[in-house]
């Protein structure tokens, strides 16, 4: 018997012009690992929320949803709470109580579990998830990854049969994200819990899915094994193809022969096999044009030391780097290594106790208050919501500039003209990001700082965002970006720096930078380094593959 059986589900929000779900039919078997993908706004979240009565959105609905053969509305609230676990996107807001132990017990308390069973279940979960070390901690002192793990654990404590996860890692850094997804996988394999998950970052989960469901504008357009779905999307020329894992993209873009690889390992063997008896004529992508005469740096950081409190350890230690004017300069590095602090130091929010920061050749100290931020420097914060203070986007932008034409022009650049009268919180993540960027751009900056700009964006929004950055660069704006997203940096940055232990270790062009690294590099590079050199994007690898195999009989 199917675990979930959805038949002809159609749903429309009140006041919406189109249905958000249209004739969706889907069957999820017991113990399956189902990956649900699609662009933002394709109806993934709406569909997931239909799998639990208390989360169902208000609106017009038809069709049926059965859980274990019973219509969902007939399954008692108690059973739904216990058997269907739901993990949401934001790690912070899902947490209800102030202590880790209390959060773990929260669901069980609601179910009226007796104290003895509760003790046991909580202890079990804490051990299974490795939480015992921070069992007594305050929730507010946990990292994002720990918080999301706690959310998962507190749901698993109720021993659900199905685990539904709605973009659970979009707010996490890559290492925490893959830890989290591995845990989910482990639950699926070891406990047989059915998993239904949506994700932007398909790299980590695509290969292990039993079933991949692709949604587009409220319809299910594909529902099959990962390999078949890859093929289908390629044949359709669908936009979602760009979101698939690198090996799949390389395979189809290079028109490769054989079985489609899903993981880096499979990709390596596929490439090795393809070139086993074939000489490699072109081993690396065309070298990047030699940098023009080094321009005057827009930003120069010289031997900066910083710590937050007198007694605390140094966050920045002897940090030095220079950003050439007009370039897109990316800083990559681990979590908590001080990248965001670097940006704050450049803004003057954190004051270094040694060293200087020069913006356009003038030390920060020489700027008058706020002079720096007029036609000078501006930063887009990690959470774009931090910048919204008004009821509508229009009012928010008006706070920055009275000039209506300037506002219209910036809105055009950031592709938010249609959204100007919405409440900032009614926008999607990608739209919020661009709206915040518009606000920042109204200061007419010449140096733009971006803190994790691609966090939580899907591949489609990332491309859009990249286009905007290119446009800004053409206008002569220098961009410094701090990011975890190596794939994004590899594709769009002019220079990439590695940040470690409070300083910048090395700076180079993306090809040379990621070509040299063996761990901290893109999937395309990891996959192709056995045959090619310095190929860092899927397009690089595909181009080399074709260049080498063309002319082959």
Of the residues 75, 118, 195, 419, which one makes contact with other proteins according to CB under 8 A: 118
| Closer Cβ to other proteins, 28 or 139, answer by number | 139
| Closer Cβ to other proteins, 109 or 475, answer by number | 109
447 is a site residue for other proteins (CB under 8 A): no
| Region 383-422 residues binding other proteins, contact defined as CB under 8 A | 383, 385-391, 399-400
Position of tokens 């062009």? 509
| Region 233-272 residues binding other proteins, contact defined as CB under 8 A | none
93 is a site residue for other proteins (CB under 8 A): yes
14 is a site residue for other proteins (CB under 8 A): no
Q: 377 Cβ partners below 8 Å, 6+ apart?
A: 346, 347, 359, 445, 446, 447, 448, 449
Position of tokens 């109806």? 43
| Region 297-336 residues binding other proteins, contact defined as CB under 8 A | none
Euclidean distance between CA atoms 202 and 263, whole angstroms: 11
112 is a site residue for other proteins (CB under 8 A): yes
Of the residues 344, 434, 446, 455, which one makes contact with other proteins according to CB under 8 A: 344
Minimum Å gap between C-beta 383 and other proteins is: 7
Of the residues 94, 148, 341, 459, which one makes contact with other proteins according to CB under 8 A: 94
Of the residues 8, 73, 138, 403, which one makes contact with other proteins according to CB under 8 A: 138
Question: What 3-state DSSP class applies to 444?
Answer: coil
Minimum Å gap between C-beta 369 and other proteins is: 6
Euclidean distance between CA atoms 174 and 180, whole angstroms: 10
Q: Which two tokens stand for residue 454?
A: 């691609």
Minimum Å gap between C-beta 467 and other proteins is: 22
- Phi-psi category of 325—alpha, beta or left, where left has phi over 0 and alpha has psi -120 to 50? beta
362 is a site residue for other proteins (CB under 8 A): no
| Closer Cβ to other proteins, 21 or 379, answer by number | 379
Minimum Å gap between C-beta 538 and other proteins is: 34
Minimum Å gap between C-beta 12 and other proteins is: 17
* Residue 402, CA distances (Å) to 370, 394, 397, 398, 412 in order: 18, 11, 9, 6, 17
Are 447 and 475 in contact by the 8 Å Cβ rule? The answer is no
Of the residues 215, 379, 435, 481, which one makes contact with other proteins according to CB under 8 A: 379
Helix (H) or strand (E) holding 348: none
Euclidean distance between CA atoms 123 and 135, whole angstroms: 10
Q: Which two tokens stand for residue 273?
A: 């096999």
Of the residues 111, 191, 322, 325, which one makes contact with other proteins according to CB under 8 A: 111
Q: Which two tokens stand for residue 120?
A: 């046991």
Question: What 3-state DSSP class applies to 344?
Answer: helix
| Region 69-88 residues binding other proteins, contact defined as CB under 8 A | 77-78, 81-82, 86, 88
The string of DSSP letters for 130-141 reads: T-GGGTTSBGGG
Strand order in the sheet with 328-333: 377-380, 447-451, 478-483, 328-333, 495-500, 503-508
Are 415 and 464 in contact by the 8 Å Cβ rule? The answer is yes
Length of the chain (residues): 553
Q: Which two tokens stand for residue 494?
A: 């002019």
Stretch that binds other proteins, among 19-27, 89-97, 181-189, 267-275 (CB under 8 A): 89-97
Of the residues 21, 66, 158, 438, which one makes contact with other proteins according to CB under 8 A: 158
Minimum Å gap between C-beta 284 and other proteins is: 39
95 is a site residue for other proteins (CB under 8 A): yes
115 is a site residue for other proteins (CB under 8 A): yes
Of the residues 50, 52, 207, 455, which one makes contact with other proteins according to CB under 8 A: 52
505 is a site residue for other proteins (CB under 8 A): no
Of the residues 96, 273, 296, 505, which one makes contact with other proteins according to CB under 8 A: 96
- Secondary-structure breakdown of the chain: helix, strand, coil percentages, each rounded to the nearest 5: 40, 20, 35
């Amino acid at each position: 018997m199917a675990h979930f059986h959805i038949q002809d589900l159609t749903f429309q929000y009140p006041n919406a012009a189109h249905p958000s779900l249209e004739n969706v039919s889907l069957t999820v078997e017991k113990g399956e690992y189902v990956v649900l993908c699609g662009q933002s706004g394709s109806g993934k979240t709406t569909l997931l929320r239909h799998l639990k009565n208390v989360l169902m959105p208000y609106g017009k609905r038809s069709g049926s949803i059965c859980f274990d053969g019973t219509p969902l509305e007939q399954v008692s609230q108690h059973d739904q709470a216990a058997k269907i676990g739901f993990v949401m996107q934001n790690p912070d807001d899902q947490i209800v109580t102030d202590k880790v132990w209390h959060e773990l017990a929260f669901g069980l308390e609601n179910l009226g579990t007796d104290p003895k069973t509760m003790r046991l279940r909580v202890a079990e979960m804490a051990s299974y998830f490795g939480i015992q070390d921070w069992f007594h901690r305050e929730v507010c002192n946990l990292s994002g990854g720990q918080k999301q793990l706690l959310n998962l654990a507190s749901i698993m404590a109720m021993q659900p049969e199905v685990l539904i996860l709605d973009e659970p890692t979009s707010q996490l850094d890559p290492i925490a994200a893959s830890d989290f997804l591995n845990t989910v996988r482990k639950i699926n394999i070891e406990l047989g819990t059915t998993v239904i998950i949506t994700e932007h970052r398909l790299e980590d989960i695509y290969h292990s899915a039993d079933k991949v469901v692709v949604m587009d504008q409220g319809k299910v357009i594909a529902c099959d094994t990962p390999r078949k779905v890859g093929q289908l999307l390629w044949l359709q020329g669908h936009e979602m193809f760009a979101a698939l894992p690198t090996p799949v993209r390389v395979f189809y873009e290079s028109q490769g022969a054989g079985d489609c690889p899903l993981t880096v390992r499979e990709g390596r063997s596929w490439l090795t096999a393809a070139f086993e008896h074939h000489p490699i004529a072109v081993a690396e992508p065309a070298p990047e044009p030699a940098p023009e005469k080094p321009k005057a740096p827009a930003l120069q950081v010289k031997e900066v030391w910083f710590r937050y409190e007198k007694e605390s350890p140094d966050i920045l230690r002897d940090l030095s780097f220079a950003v050439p004017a007009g370039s897109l300069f990316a800083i990559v590095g681990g979590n908590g290594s001080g990248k965001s602090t670097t940006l704050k130091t450049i803004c003057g929010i954190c004051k270094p106790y040694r060293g200087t920061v020069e913006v356009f050749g003038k030390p920060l100290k020489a700027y008058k208050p706020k002079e720096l931020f007029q036609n000078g420097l501006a930063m887009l914060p990690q959470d774009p919501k931090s910048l919204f203070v008004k009821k509508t986007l229009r009012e928010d932008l008006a706070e920055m500039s009275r000039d209506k034409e300037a506002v219209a022009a910036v809105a055009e650049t950031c592709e938010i003209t249609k959204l100007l009268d919405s409440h900032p919180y009614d926008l999607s993540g990608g739209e919020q990001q661009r709206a915040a960027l518009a606000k920042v751009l109204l200061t007419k900056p010449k140096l733009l700082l971006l803190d994790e700009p691609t966090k939580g964006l899907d591949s489609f929004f990332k491309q859009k965002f990249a286009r905007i950055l290119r446009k800004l660069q053409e206008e002569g704006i220098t961009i410094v970006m701090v990011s975890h997203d190596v794939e994004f940096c590899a594709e769009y940055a002019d220079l990439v720096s590695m940040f470690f232990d409070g300083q910048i270790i090395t700076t180079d062009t993306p090809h040379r930078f990621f070509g040299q690294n063996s761990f901290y590099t893109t999937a395309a590079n990891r996959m192709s380094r056995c045959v090619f050199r310095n190929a860092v994007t899927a397009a690089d690898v595909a181009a080399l593959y074709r260049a080498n195999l063309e002319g082959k009989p």
